[in-house]
Chain A
Amino acid sequence: PEGGNQQQSDVNLIDVLTPSEISPLLSNPEVASGTLFPHLPSDINRTPEELREVIQSPQFAQALQSLSIALQSGQLGPLLTQLGLDPSAGSGVEAFLRAIQNQVSRQRRNNPE
């Protein structure tokens, strides 16, 4: 498809969020219960074990894959605004990740602990 923002060298979220890399984060109870449990399907038990199974599931991989494709297609404007990101974050996976990094850094500057 046309559209100048199709960087061929873009990344795939599947390689960013591999189960082996992110599962250590999930053992932190604060991270798990505070940040991630609220975003699990309602019929999944809120335990670290379940969380680990979810991130290893083919359905989660499928979600990463389709979000990557959608980001590359650059049609996620409304969603990005909803997440408080700049619409330019929709021009690829890397742009999306960098925008989240910037958002976190900015929020840190504004609310120093």
Chain B
Amino acid sequence: MKLWTYLRERAAIGEPRGKLLTGASFAYVFGAVLMFLLLVQGVTGFALAAFYSPSTTDAWASVAYIQDQAPFGWFVRGLHHHGGSAIVIIAGVHLVQTAVSGAYKRPRELVWWLGILSLLLVLAFSVTGYWLRWDQAGFYASQIELGIAAATPVMGGAIKSLAIGGNDYGNLTLTRAYAVHVILLPALLLLVTYFHVRISRRLGPTPVRTKPVAVTRWPYQSMRDAIAIAVVFAILLAYVVSTHGVDLAAPADPTSAYDARPLWPFRWLFELRIIAAGAEQLVAMVVPAMFGGFLVALPLLDRRTEREPKHRKLWLGALAGLFAVVGALTVASFARDSNDEQLARRRATADKLATRARDLALTNGVPVTGPLDVFKTAPMWNARTLFATRCAGCHGVDSTERKGPVIGPGHGNRAWLTQFLKTPSGDAFYAHTKLAQTENAMKPVEIPAADMADLVELLYSDSGAQDVDVAKKDRGVKVFEAACTDCHTRDEGVASSAGPNLYGLNSRDYYTSFIGNPKAPIHMGSDKSQMPRFDRDLSIVDRDALAEYLVWLRTATLDDVNALGPL
């Protein structure tokens, strides 16, 4: 208690202050609730800043790390995001309440203007904060917002260049937005709210009771403040938990099409721009300026001392009209989206991409080259991409222009070999090739089933597979010599006269070599293959990656292929 006495004397803590002449009321809780919510933003903002990295290569990755890996990261991020929305809502209610009760009138004009200024700062927070995610949503929102700013007469180009830090979006865009969001805006907001609160305290609240009884703030007003804070915070926490925080879209991709939308406080402007097509740049600037101008001018327009709402129908009606228009435009904007089925499909695709990116970031980490490369960390991404772009046209099971054998799961396993030997010109094999139409086409191998099994085991073992029945394989050598050697050989490096050399058939080295030049004498020979050689336009690394993928396919099922995920 000595410390308390010490502080009480020196810091003037607990000294009796002026009483609340108007009495305590729930009408006066909004300031306290907003202060508490700003504290929440400060605390959660600090925690997020301790993880966030403002660079184009790291921003998305660090947010994904906060969201999906750091303990309670999703919660703190969600609290910060939705807490910002709560501030806009409560500040809006506070503004309407102030307007209705005529609390902006003399001598409280300054309090009103400082309040409007702090609301503008809050909106600036939400704009800059949204950019920092550097996902599709934040990236494209920044494009639109800065596009509007760039249309400002005379200074537009300079404003945009200052905001993005140069000629194009990049690291400097993020470092600047970050500096503004975590240093400049908090400092300004602190300053503005300090004077807003200080002056309003000096002047006291606008009376809401006809016969007020003066009370001390503590505990009579404080308890009402605490109840309001507890209720608002409980709703906010419940919302954060029920939504699992806030979404994170796929990493920013300047080449993609993305249905960008601004955050909800700006949706009315988005709708207005659609309605005002043709003059949208003008409307996007003039309308908010007029709205803001009206709010600022209100104490100057409505100057009579009369505060009773029913005697101020003109100005309150005008204000109600403005809010009704903003509300209607907001509802219309959300309704437009929810009725758009094509948009819903595009959103579902974008959501899948986001989930994919975040899954890969979680399991593999994000490459230092940037978050878009996270897609390339998928298993055998390079080989599968090459296959899809360079091979699937002629070898894909779904291809309508197939020119060669199907290459898919199970390629080169025992069942595949057996089927191939029985029907080399079957639909899944050489049926679509020119070779199949000629005399040179391979004839079906017609031998007893036991011999066939031995031959298959031999060819299967050449692929390098480990699960080989050695006895069967050894017997297969004799079958091969009896049935195949007219056209084929299994000796390394020897070109056989009619058919391809089968040395190391379906092994990684075989595939690499075959893909490199299928027309080589040891493979198909120049007259029997339509397949182009790839040793000139695919690097040895790429050809080897493809070969590795083909070897992997031998033991894979369709489920395994699907489990690799999309490209």
Query: Is B one of A's binding partners?
Result: no
Q: Which residues of A contact B (CB under 8 A)?
A: none
